[in-house]
Structure 1
């Protein structure tokens, strides 16, 4: 089992208040150390799935105490090996909630992906340039290589998490990162479109100028997979390929076709990008909810519920409006194609 070490600094006089903590999670071991007459260091070795409940208890009891600090440390291995406890029927629901890592760990990982850094900018440029060349050549291997970089995974997962937790500061941060990432991708794709001839007769490009049911399923699956990667603690690099495939190639096609003067095909690519962004975020938010991710305090939970309702309603309305647009455009094209 995956283990974490919780280290907390608390008032020495409050050590007795922690005696009931083992009842709130499967504590493997615990060590108390006096730092001085006023403070104590408590180390608790616990299964990763039980970290959240223990940390919440610590915060509830000591958040307002001067000098309180809690730290979470991943444990690669420990000897002797901890014995796996046997779950009974009463612990089934608890087992389900332990299938993901704790809220703070997820938040730190996901929110870091919404930072606009020089590395993020470089990744967006490189990924778009490589993807654009791969699209022009119709080379799937080059496209996959570009997608491994996955620059847009972080901002979109951060937006899903911010919505789920009702964190408006993170919403603004992730939206800004998304806009910057897409702007860089557009400029990079436009640069390739100016340098090289681009045509919708190329199969890889033509496939990304219209929305199909398969594209919707791919985007929904991508959003779900991206969230599962973060909440399970699994490496997100390969899962990020799915999100990148849904977002970056069609946007690169949009940029290249727009500067090439093929506005109709470019609008189709932009519609595909819009559908993918909506589906990735809708599926991501619903997956975070299904994973039981909630804010710590009750008032934050109430705020988060409102934010989630608003976000899901917005994404659903946008998806419905986009579907109507696609249907109308398809019907119009079909009518003109069959008119003698």
Structure 2
């Protein structure tokens, strides 16, 4: 059972109400202590699936207060091992909480997504390294090196963040994710262009590799693969399962098709370059469409009703746009 430690700092007179709120949930353990400034710190050890509901209730009552703060910490292990907590069966006049979702909390998802869209020096360094590794692996037809570039996968995080931002109707996160996607892709294209021009200058044909040519072909199976992999990636993201995400990175790689398109363009194979671009677009559409749908089906919603209404409109627009793009893509494939 995955556990989370909720540390709540609040005015002393709020402690009893906080304990009353968490009493409805399956609490493994709880502690409290007096702080030097007179406030109380309440620590609650709970099932990770129930943190979102608890945090929402605490935020609705105390978020506006200047003396209130909540910290959420993943718990790797605890001794003694906790038994599965029994829900509180005492009758109360309040509505019973809904069954917890089988995922980590919205706040944890948001923090993960936001950390993946920081278009800083380390992000561009990762894009640089991934582009170079992909280009070298593609030119040498070295599968192991190509997989290494896939696992680095700097563009997967911004795409997942974009899907989450769409689901929550969060314009700020959506802008950050969009900028990270466009700037990262643009930088990868420049790196690939420089690498392709260099190897062409020294007399090596960048289009002679089978691995490059293999990414100049796209079919209906690639569309299904992109949709299935995007769904798997979103599920892994909601469960904080980084091991599963590695498989998704390999299955629906974004950079190798983009790098292949640039190498083919440098080599004068413009039609094949267009096919590689089509494969890249297929993967982007599949990841975003299936990720938004998966987040919605996982019950990820904003906390307040007015935010939820805005998020529903954003999700509808995004799903409609991605489906239209997918229809156009399928139409292009049928013409080929």
**In 2, Cα distance between equivalents of 1:234 and 1:150:** 16
> Contact conserved, 2:219 with 2:333, CA < 8 A, in 1?
no
User: Among residues 250, 253, 278, which one is paired with 1:242 in the alignment?
Assistant: 250
* CA offsets 1:241-272 (integer angstroms, 9 cap, x no match): 236x4311110011111122211111111111
- Which residue does 2:29 correspond to in 1? 29
Deviations 1:58-102 (A, max 9, x none): 101111222111111111221222111468xxx9x725x1x1111
In structure 1, what is the equivalent of residue 154 of structure 2? 151
Q: Which residue in the other structure is 1:267 paired with?
A: 274
Q: Distance in 2 between matches of 1:75 and 1:139?
A: 40
Q: Which residue of 1 aligns with 2:99?
A: 94
Aligned twin of 2:93: none
Q: Provide the C-alpha distance between the structure 1 equivalents of 2:76 and 2:256, rounded to a whole number of angstroms.
A: 37
Q: Distance in 2 between matches of 1:51 and 1:121?
A: 34
CA contact (8 A) 1:222 1:242 kept: no
Q: Report 1:54-73 matches (<5 A).
A: 54-73=54-73
Cα deviations by residue, 1:28-75 (Å, 9 ceiling, x for unpaired): 111122225752111111111111111111101111222111111111
Change (3 A) 1:246 1:219: farther
Structure 1 gap ranges (5+): 331-340
Residue 312 (structure 2) pairs with residue 305 (structure 1)? yes
Q: Is the 8 A contact 2:27 2:85 kept in 1?
A: no
How many Å separate the matches in 1 of 2:86 and 2:74?
23
* Separation in 1, partners of 2:61, 2:120: 37
Aligned to 2:141: 138
Counterpart among 106, 109, 113 of residue 109 in structure 2: 106
> Shift in Å at residue 199 of structure 1?
5.5
8 Å Cα contact 1:12/1:37 also seen in 2: no
Measured in 1, the distance between the counterparts of 2:256 and 2:141 equals 12
Question: Residue deviations 1:10-32, cap 9 Å, x none?
Answer: 11112221242234321111112
Distance in 2 (CA, whole Å) between partners of 1:220 and 1:198 is 33
TM-score (norm 1): 0.89
226, 235, 238: which is aligned to 1:228? Answer: 235
Relative to structure 1, the CA distance from residue 49 to residue 58 in structure 2 (aligned partners, 3 Å threshold; closer, same or farther) is: same
The secondary structure found in structure 2 opposite 1:246 is coil
- Structure 1 residue 320 and structure 2 residue 333: aligned? no
Shift of 1:201: 5.3
Q: How many residues align?
A: 324
C-alpha distance in structure 1 between counterparts of 2:47 and 2:249, whole Å? 30
What's the secondary structure of 1:210's corresponding residue?
A: coil
CA contact (8 A) 2:28 2:85 kept: no
Unpaired runs of 5+ in structure 2?
88-95
Distance in 2, Cα, partners of 1:105 & 1:273: 29
- Structure 1 distance, partners of 2:127, 2:229, is 19
- Are the structure 2 counterparts of residues 200 and 212 from structure 1 closer, same or farther at C-alpha, using a change threshold of 3 Å? farther
User: Match of 1:81?
Assistant: 81
Report the Cα distance in structure 2 between the residues aligned to 1:287 and 1:27, rounded to whole angstroms: 29
Hey, what does 2:51 align to over in structure 1?
51
Given the alignment of the two structures, is residue 126 of structure 1 paired with residue 129 of structure 2, yes or no? Answer: yes
Higher helix share: 1
Contact 1:162 1:168 in 2 (8 A): yes
Give the Å deviation of 1:304.
0.4
Classify the secondary structure of the residue corresponding to 1:13.
helix
Runs of 4+ residues over 4 Å off in structure 1: none
Q: CA deviation at 1:148?
A: 1.6
